Amino acid sequence: MADIRAIIWIDHKEARIFHVQPDTVGSTVLAPQHHFHRHPKGQGEPKEHPQDALHFFQEVARELSGVDAVLIVGPSSAKLEFFKYLSQHQHLLAEKVVGVETADHPTDGDIIKRAKAYFAATDAA
């Protein structure tokens, strides 16, 4: 049976997950703010609640359950924060992370091409 592989593009506003197989690609898009709408009480108070990121990362990790390998990419610190979350709270999934790379704002097609090239290169090694 072939490994189940995924690539996730993540920033603080959304996560785009692609399950990549040689002949098929499935995708999921998650946005953390779709559950929360906060109104700051004072100037300089954050709109996000500290638990928002935790809940978002939990939801993303749930979507990655069952994968054998995952490549994490993104433009900002969110990719590293997500990997840190996995290392601290989802040890089994953290062990399946094969790479964490910077990727600005690629199209879905670019993300899929990157995943296929990355996994083909690791298969050849």
Q: What is the pTM of this model?
A: 0.82
Question: Is 42's pLDDT higher than 90?
Answer: no
Which amino acid, residue 20?
V
At residue 59, what is the residue type?
E
DSSP H helices in the chain: 50-63, 78-89, 91-94, 108-124
Looking at residue 44, what is its pLDDT?
54
Asked whether the predicted pLDDT for residue 67 surpasses 50, the reply is yes
Is the domain 5-33+48-124 a CATH 3.20.20.70 member?
A: no
Spans of all domains in the chain: 5-33+48-124
- Residue 78 and residue 56: Cα distance in Å, rounded? 11
